[in-house]
Chain A
Amino acid sequence: MTVVLPQSPSRPALRHRLAERGVDRTLLLVLPGALAVIALFCYPFLYGLQLSFQPASGGVLGAYHAFFSEPFARKSIWQTFSLAIPASLINVGVSVPISYRMRRDFRGKRLLLALLVVPITLGTVLTAEGILEFYGPAGWFNHTLNLLGLASSPVQLTMNYTGVLLSLIISGFPFAYLLTHSYLSGIHPSLEKAASTLGADWWQRFRHITFPLLLPGLMTTFCLSFVMAFAVFPSAMMVGDPDGKTHVISIEAYEAALEHFDYAQGCADAMIMTVLMLVVIVAVTTLRSRLYSGSTGGKG
């Protein structure tokens, strides 16, 4: 910010001074969109925030107190994280070697990328139904295991933690892979060639050149995968453990607001959820800002 100078007769017109900072009438174009987001996102959010401090009982912090004092609700935080973090780690972790192998063009690559979009078309319900039927005790998966002699009795893969994790991987892996793939193809191939002429074998090239350049993108991918997995809601209800082993925080919030009609509690839960998620994102972003981030092209 510049120091505000005392007014002088030679002071240029306000319009000119604004123009100097890039402010002109074009900026009015931002207003409709920004106002819509403020009205539909910021206002409800702040309204929800103040509502969360006005519970029916228990004083200002009653709703928050209620959440943390009830073990079932409190444990939903742990359950959310224990699903979201492994799911995002698996999705990002598996994406890296696969997209590294596939960074070059080959026949059928476009088809493969298009196939990876398929899980996005499935939607939560078909995925959940499919998981119930395919991995269920009488499903093809257990049939096959039995046939191969890998399991004598059906393995319980649905209606529990594994089921939800499976649904998070089926819907989340293509997302992570496509993002990783696009970050990786942003790294100029001549960098690896240069490293190889300098005597680096494939592991050294990956370790010293590709991976450091990919890491910021991977962290963004992790963040976005995490946000997706963190908000897991429909699949946790459909393939999750009915006894509460996969009672994630979004279910907790939903039940409070729209099943018990305790809006204050529901909003409080939503705020807790937002804060937890932002903490993870801020942590990853801080870590990321300490890394190199910039051009990944051939020219510096």
Chain B
Amino acid sequence: MSLIPSYNFAYLDEQTKRMIRRSILKAIAIPGYQVPFASREMPMPYGWGTGGVQVTAAIIGPSDVLKVIDQGADDTTNAVSIRAFFAKVANVATTTHTADATIIQTRHRIPERPLQAGQVLVYQVPIPEPLRFLEPRETETRKMHALEEYGLMHVKLYEDIAKHGQIATTYAYPVKVEGRYVMDPSPTPKFDNPKMHMSPALQLFGAGREMRIYAVPPFTEVVSLDFEDHPFEIQHFTQPCALCAATGVYLDEVILDDHGGHMFVCSDTDNCEERRAQGHRGHLSGEELEAAE
């Protein structure tokens, strides 16, 4: 693919990238703190990752290799479009392999393969403010962050237990970063929360509509909030992936027919494909599917 001459490299003009980089640097310096930035109009609707795209555009260079996932998959519309966008406006190489990527932009998942030093994970964030559920006033939530008044976050978890007998928050599960700021990890499943803790990779979060950027630098403490008598737990699956037999990974339920037939498969498509390439087989993989075609 060739560069479109009328666009600057990576779509945004250099001054805008500079502004965003400054916000990113500040975010890295204050882990978990939401830094305001002058979010630009992007050629896509809000909710499709305008924040993530701007962060990626500000940090991407010609030698980077970009991977984009949506709910763990490389092949959904959102992922394909964003990958194509950067291939066009930055002429960068793209990949679906986690191991090969230098920048991974994601919506709602962290790859199963542990991230490495030097990799950057860019999250698309719809609502950056974890306290908003109970305190709608932005002036008040900012003050609460400033004064470290986080009792309200536990009120939310208390309500969960009171209603459901357990902490029923399964995604966007609040975390405390480096013992200071409470942060919304974006709508990733809580299954992925432990992966954020002490990750060697840099994690950047962009909320385009809300004009906020925040970050978790490499090797930063990320602790999921909980109660002493209701400790944080990740989801557990009773069966392995139907395609690659992986256990200890996050699975999506796929409906097969109108008669209640369903299967659980890896949400991380790259991880699943790699495992199958290595010869792992689930009980619904390969043969049956091919036979059905």
Q: Do A and B bind each other?
A: no
